[in-house]
Amino acid sequence: MTTSIDRPFETRSKECIPIQKTVNVNPPPLASKPRRKGSTQRTNLSIATWEGVPAIILQTLLGGPFLTGFLLYLGAGSRHIGFVLAITTFVNIAQIGAAYWMQRIRSRKRMLLLFVGTHRILWSATGLIPFIFPKEWWVSVYIAVYTVAFISNTIGGMIWTSLIGDIVPAKVRGRYFGIRNTILNALGSVCLFAGGIVLDRYPGEMGFLILFIPVWICAIANTVIYFFYPDVPFERSTEKVFWRMFIKPFQDRSFLKATLFLAVWLLIQTLIVPLYSYVMLDLLNINYQTVSLITVVQTLVMMAGFYVWGNLNARFSNKTLLFWTLPVIALSCLSWGLMSFMPILVALFLSHIFLGIGVGGFNQLAFNFTIGDTPKSERPMFVAVYSALTGVTSFLGPLMGGWLYEKMETLSDALAWVSAYGFQVGVGVVMLILTFTLGRRVLLK
């Protein structure tokens, strides 16, 4: 005997109760529907881009030629300037301890807010030094506050790198950072030009006070936007013991060779490149507005470079593209030699065009290398080891460069060309030799 379900539909008993489709007459509002993964990713990428807006304004008005100019206003010499420029990289050693400590925190977002917020507040607070302390203390207080600020920043930067590596999908990483950096540097170029005009029109205390007003606003705004960052799950290291976690990057031969080479490269590069503004402002006596205009041109070229390097990164590996940024940076140093027979400004503009193309690509690709060519679970320690090794050499470079410029100031007028462009050309020659010998073997294999 068969049941009504076993029989064809048309032979079933009329007493069978038909299955009715229920309709919800009060559907939930659209806002209660779960968001699609793609939509969430776009929102997160948008937040990361908007967060960079106040950050780039703050960094532009407090760094670069304005940092050098403010230090000169406070009474700093070339050695002080070299030390301050070196501090930002030396404190990267703290990232090794931070990478181990990160395995034990519950929320990367909270720690990001704490350390990045501390950095923004302290760095922007250096604008109050001339109004609070006696003049003879200005340089010492600035160095102390700046050092604490960047110790906090290096820990926050480690957390941000880990977090942004999880937020940005690997398949769009190169293109996204290329577009993001292009947008932010466009804004930075406007700030550079405007800041130069302000300092030329209001030299000294009044000009810097005007610059620090938007800096204080952006420090607060930047910290607030971090509240909107997602607190995505953190894939922790498979190692629980510090030393086992620490040695993993050193066991990856490809990563280690590339990192050691880049550390040596940065030692040579930072002998001169961070001191470009010092040479222009103090040795060549170029005004702030012209220096700002030169830096704006560099930034505009860097913007175009970000987009180009980002698109190339979809076709070529990080290390291959890193190699091709090196001769461009060397050409930036060699271009200073043109002022021996050409107008100074022509040489400086050309040098900074090469610098924009080269350093912009180098920084972007080095970042992609540390978050893209490393295992996800061990990424914090890989990033920390890279930052520590390159940080030590980038610390020594400006210190040595500042000391050498101090010695060159004692040279006779007949040898003034050495500090004006001779030293830069010498460094450029060494960089080219290093690129096409050791660099070719390490990065192109």
205-226 per-position pLDDT tens digit: 888 989 999 999 999 999 999 9
pLDDT in tens, 234-273: 777 777 778 888 888 888 888 899 999 999 999 999 998 8
Nearest by Cα to 140 from 150, 126, 124: 126
What span, in angstroms and rounded, lies between the C-alpha atoms of 299 and 59? 13
User: In whole angstroms, what separates CA 73 from the centre of its chain?
Assistant: 26
pLDDT at residue 434 above 90?
Answer: yes
Count, residues in the chain: 445
Query: Residue 440 has which token pair?
Result: 């070719």
Please give the C-alpha separations between residue 434 and each of 61, 267, 274, 308, in angstroms, as whole numbers. 34, 12, 20, 25
Sequence-distant (6+) residues with CB within 8 A of 374 are 249, 252, 255, 382, 383
According to the model, what pLDDT value does residue 10 have? 38
pLDDT in tens, 419-431: 888 899 999 999 9
Nearest by Cα to 75 from 202, 200, 201, 204: 204
According to the model, what pLDDT value does residue 122 have? 94
pLDDT at residue 22 above 50?
Answer: no
Q: What is the mean pLDDT of residues 270-296?
A: 85
b/e per residue 13-32 (b: at least 16 CB within 10 A):
eeeeeeeeeeeeeeeeeeee
Q: What is the mean pLDDT of residues 53-62?
A: 92
Kindly tell me the burial class for residue 343, based on how many C-beta atoms sit within 10 Å of its own C-beta (0-12, 13-18, 19 or more): exposed
- Please tell me what DSSP assigns to residue 35: P
What span, in angstroms and rounded, lies between the C-alpha atoms of 312 and 333? 25
Asked if residue 158 lies in contact with residue 102, where contact means CB atoms within 8 angstroms, the answer is yes
pLDDT at residue 332 above 90?
Answer: yes
pLDDT at residue 20 above 60?
Answer: no
Give the pTM: 0.68
Please give the C-alpha separations between residue 370 and each of 4, 383, 386, in angstroms, as whole numbers. 67, 6, 8
